[in-house]
Amino acid sequence: MRLIGSVKAWIVIASTVLLAANGGHAQFVPPSGFSGQGDRPGVATPTDSTAPALTRLPNNALADRFAIVPSYKRGASTGHVKVVGAFEIQETDKGHLIAAWSSGFLPITLSFDDGECYSLQADYFGGTLLNGRMSPIDCNERQVASEALPPSPAGGSGLAFIDSAWSYAAWSDKQAGMTIVTAPYTDSFKPLFTAKMATIAIMAMNGPDYPGGNVTLVGRVDGRLTVVTLEVGY
C-alpha cells in the first residue's frame, strides 16, 4: 500500500476466493470454521525456475512475535491476533523490495527494483494459507483507495507512521524494535497489537458481520523478506 522509491516490478499474492472491494479485487474473509477439501502443501512445486524462491513458514514459528496490547479493551472485547499464513521470499542481489500494497489483505502487490513481475498465489484451507506458488506475470497499475489519516499518538511518543489499511494503522517503534497496529474505526489512538518485525506495509480487510478480519504485514523478520497474514479481532 505504500510506495517506497520508484516502482519497477510487482509481485501479486492472490487466493482462489476473491471479492470486489475498494475499487479492486480483495481476498474474501472466510467465515469461522471455513475449510477447503483435501490436503495442500505449504508451497506448490515451482513451475518457473526464474521466480524468487518461496518458503512457507510454520505459523507457530512466528506466533510469539504478535501480541495483543494488554491494556486493549473495546466494550466486552479484549481483542485477539493469530498467525494464519507466513511466506518468506528470497530476494536476490539484483532484486530488492521497494514497495507493497493491496486493496484487501490479499492479493498483495510487491514491487522489486530489478524489473521483474511475479504472481504469488495461496489458498485458504482449514483456517490457514497453503499451496503458495509463484509465476511471472505482466505488471499492472496500482489500484488502492486512499484513506484518511488515522488518529495520531501523543506528541513525543517517538512513533513513526508507516501506512494504514481498512482503518488499521501501522506505526514503527524503532526504540522497542517493533510495529504497533492500532484498532480500526476509532476516533483516538488505540493500539491493538504489536509485531516484532520491521514492517514496510500493512494490508487488511474486515469481515462483513463481525468485529474482526485479516491483517497482512509485509516486512523483514531477522532481516529476511516476510509476508505474514493474521486473523485479528478488535
pLDDT digits (tens, 9 = 90+) for 63-86: 999 999 999 999 888 999 999 999
Residue bearing the bigger pLDDT, 137 or 46: 46
Nearest partner of 151 among 136, 168, 174, judged by Cα: 168
Give the start-to-end residue ranges of the domains of the chain: 2-137+157-233
CA distance 169 to 116: 29
Neighbours of 43 (CB within 10 A): 18
Reply yes or no on whether the pLDDT at 27 is more than 80: no
Segment holding 89, helix H or strand E: strand 80-89
* pLDDT mean across residues, the chain: 81
CA distance 84 to 102: 18
Beta-bridged to residue 9, according to DSSP, are none
Q: For residue 152, give the amino acid letter.
A: S
Q: What percent of the chain has pLDDT over 90?
A: 49
Overall average pLDDT of the 27-52 stretch: 65
Neighbours of 166 (CB within 10 A): 23
What is the reported pTM?
0.83
pLDDT digits (tens, 9 = 90+) for 121-160: 788 888 899 988 877 776 776 666 678 889 999 888 999 9
User: Residues 6 or more apart from 84 whose CB is under 8 A from it?
Assistant: 59, 127, 128, 129, 214, 229, 230, 231
pLDDT digits (tens, 9 = 90+) for 182-218: 999 999 999 999 999 999 999 999 998 889 999 999 9
b/e 126-164 (16+ beta carbons within 10 angstroms → b): ebbbbbbbbeeeebeebebeeeeebeebeeeeebeebbb
CA angle 232, 233, 234 (to 5 degrees): 120
Segment holding 62, helix H or strand E: helix 59-62
